[in-house]
Amino acid sequence: MKKIIYLLFVLIAFTNCKNDTKTKPEDVPVATDTSSEPTEKQSDGLTLLKGEFVYFGDAAVLQTHNEIYGVYVTDKMLELDAKAKQYKRQPTDMVDVIIRGKITNKKDDKILWENKVEIVEIINVSKPKESSNVVKLEQ
């Protein structure tokens, strides 16, 4: 009876073992810093942000898929707005952008959004995707 129980435990142990293959150190990809492409988070403290940008009046806003950022009005932001104007039909149209910037939560007198970004690098500006659920009122 004991032999059957031991045999049962051994059989269960072998059937429950996973078929894990161990990777050799040379098989694991190593990230190198030699690429000129910016990464999402680098050691320089900048963050890659993709979203829709609009500058109207004295306010600039960047809306990503999960957050809205107030944008500091700087020379880089004005450069981004100049590049975005070629894709706008109306002054209030949003344009798809990819930028790198410094994100902060510090209080500001002009920007009332909780999250703020200072644009440091403009990576891409493109035409916004057509949306079928936009209603425009004209007089």
Task: Name the nearest CA neighbour of 95 among 66, 130, 70.
Answer: 130
Question: What pLDDT shows up at residue 10?
Answer: 67
DSSP string of 79-128?
HHHHHHGGG-SSTT--EEEEEEEEEE----SS--SSEEEEEEEEEEEEPP
DSSP SS3 for 57: coil
Tell me the mean pLDDT in the region 66-92: 92
Q: What is the mean pLDDT of residues 75-90?
A: 92
CATH architecture assignment, domain 47-126: Beta Barrel (2.40)
Confidence (pLDDT) at 17: 59
- What residues does each domain of the chain span? 47-126
